[in-house]
A and B are shown apart, each in its own frame.
Chain A
Amino acid sequence: MPKTRFAVNDDLWNQFAPLVARVEKPSRYLGQEWGSVEPSEKSDADYHAVLVYPDTYEIGQANQAIAVLYDCLNANERIYCERAYLPWVDMITAMRASKLPLASLETYTPVCDFDFVGITLPHEMASTNILEFLDLSGIALHACDRTEDDPLVFGGGPLAYNPEPLASFFDAFFIGEGEELDLEVALLHRRMKQAGASREQILRELSHVEGVYVPSLYETHDQRIEGLSSEMRGYTVAQPRFDDVSPRVVKRVIQEFDTLKALPRLIVPYSELVHDRLAVEILRGCNRGCRFCQAGMIYRPVRERSADTIISAVAEGLACTGYDEVSLTSLSSTDHSTIGQMLRRLNTRFYGTGKSVSLPSQRVDALGVELARLAAGEKKGGLTLAPEAGTQRMRDSINKGVTEDDLMQAVIGAVEAGWRGFKLYFMIGLPGETDEDVAGIGALCKRVYRAAKDAIPDDQPRNIRLTVSVALFIPKPCTPFQWDGQIPLEEIQHRIEVLRGSFPKKGIDLRWHDSATSYVEAVLARGGRECAELIEQAWKNGARFDAWTEQFNFDAWQQAGQACGVPIMQRAVCEYEEGALLPWSHISCGVSEAFLRSERQKAHEAMTTPDCSFGPCSQCGVCQDLHVHNSTQVKRVLPEARL
């Protein structure tokens, strides 16, 4: 292959320019940001990769996984990695009218001309966007229709733990952490392609790489779902077609997390992103074990970076990007064993510079508030807490590990520290939930509101802003509630009535999420390959940008569901049989099915399981199966011992 193969496609940009001039937020389509890799830096590269986020620039560019993988791939001199995002609807319409293909941001190369197209799979509601992306790129939707000239289309991210609904659209999925895996796959693909191997040979070889799932090498069988009528389809389960293909694909995980670069090469956008600040990942994994939470299962074990590494990354990151705010990110940043010490050190360093530190979430206890105070400084907007359920029985059932005392201490402490605005998150429709549990949300919020008002000093106005946001439970694969269905629509309506009745008419702002999107999400989360047809039909019916409330088109999904024999409402509420094979049974995040079943049983009995990063092993199976272990900087201790 010739050297300096890559250059900016000015012809294509010149065709895009008149379109860019008349759409909303042109900066989404410009590229050329500070930190982006230019073709002149890649004179030795001969393999072209593009990382894709299936939503708009301002959502995708904020994604930390893309930033990390962009850095990992570009660190190799043979690979030039670019980025592409889904244009907004106005640009999509303009591109289709002008017959322009979707192109990368750095060089405006059509996506279909790349070797490697890596699409992030962030959540179920991005599924139709993936089809929109492939179609706009001129890449055949179905992997089986792609030719030797087409790129290999890879998927990775949370959805890869049940890739089946998207299986027919991808050549391969990456299960688990991508820092090593993406590079390994790219280099193997490059080597085989240059040696003249066929697409089929390459995919077969890729299937031998730990953490790679090639769906075309598996055949599927239909599994009936108990309780659904015979004209409705069940789900599919997958088994390998060949002896050399593993019946179980286990996730890739990096034990030596602290040795990974804490600060990838960062791109500083021109437009405002959803999270427009420096993000430094301070730890990975969360073992709190909330039974509804998929992230708490698939990202185990817990691995912390050291305070010194984090502080250096923050200082260097702010200096080289020009941001004035840093977020210390992870699933549970306040659980980091040295978080208090880190925040104090950062506050000392940033005093008087206009720079600030933020935490993405707060623990529901007094320590959480103390840490939030350290992070917020004088800026005290709103404090967000997530008790998730209204009664202690229900909080124990979901293993939330929060008591009413914790919540009250947190709120009173926060009022004393100066906060006046609070947002509380809850869920309804959880397995085993009763009307009493739902009414308990209102009762708890009233007590919180009163306690917060009473905690205001006498010489200050007694104003408290309390917003309560209630979401509908969505069962997710790899969780103890993966077998459970959602509650039927009539039951939701009833529980919302109970919920509303439990709240005072004034004082507390109560909001609940649209149940229609939750039903679609639940069907896709637990579906098999039969859902590919559903997604494709919904997309053909006009569904796209389903995560954008104003764009969500429930009719498109319902009609698609009827046409494909996968009716949304019936599928969302059905319970799967324990012990039966599931659509994702061949994909393993390391957490054993026995553990999930035992956790489900404990949920029924409202029994809790402690977080193993603070205490004894909970026997989830991850450490034994993946040969890894929790790795904290110092021994984690419970909050009461730390204050």
Chain B
Amino acid sequence: MSRITLESKPSDGVRELLRHLLDKGKVSAVLAPRRLDDEGSLDLGFITDRSELDSIDPFAPVMIANTAQVLSMITPSSSKIAVVLKPCELRGFVERVKREQGTLDNILTISCTCGGVFPLQKAVDGITGGMTANYYSDLSSEKIHAEIRETCKACEHFIPINSDVTVSLVGEKDLDENCQIYLNSKSASELLEGLGGEIDKKEYDPAISAGLMKKRLAEKERLFNSVFPGKGGIDAVIEIFGKCVGCHGCSRVCPICYCVSCDFESMNFDSDIAYYEKELSQKGALRLPPDTMLFHIGRMIHMSFSCVGCGLCSDVCPADIPVASVFKRTGDKTASIFDYIPGRDLEEAIPVMVFKEEEFSRFVDE
């Protein structure tokens, strides 16, 4: 467990690190966010040729696709791959690995202390515009940037868990010529031997970003108290999800929802017209297509305890529903009854896959 200090911008430092890995043949490929043009188009580049590394923007404050989903497509790999990803994407992938949707073997994970990302819509409208101006200075001064997503503002897991390499951004002064790279695993130390820079024995100290943590936790409390109207109840649920158009984009981009065919899109929920006619005779009116609330509450039941709060569901929602905030709010509760933190530990089983003989007596009449 050691630290490398480079005298460069962190993004340059990481590019240098990736070049080192490719040049020395220590990895065969790199997966990282890549800029396509000046208009703000990005994608994830899966790169084997070092000359392609120039377009990489490792800490682009935008999430264009969930790297966790992409990792499922490229693992298990017989070649060593270095991946640059956000802490929540890494946690999302750990959850996927637990569901046998990929593996961390042969993967070197490089993450950063994350200042959050811009909403997708704002980002595609022009990430190179004025929006990023304060972003990096806010990182240094441990402020919550005003334009980042609601979910990011309330995220307390901005320090990567389980990453091989952590680049420290939050709370670091002078991000113009100071790149702090923490090596958290033995394989990271081996692979990065000979990178240069100043090396010392030091682990990441959460005190560096404690100021932001405090603000994030406060913001989280504020968000969770305000996102859900009143005392809740079915009317509140309808108020939030009433404008859902049923595209199910939220479940398709979700790193946890890995099912090829979702239960809620299956024939299980098809009904004869006679069924609707009967329901109509009882209620006088019903919504079509049906089961909008069933879909959202049902999805919460199926996956919320593993929700890593990556926020992509809110990003892709055409109706601007704060899906991520509502799901994370519930997910915090469902995970906490199992003392579970999604993505914390690969060895920690998914709560529904294990049990203890004596537990949860408050939920059962025994």
Asked if chains A and B come from one complex, the reply is no
Which residues of A are in contact with B by a Cβ distance under 8 Å? none
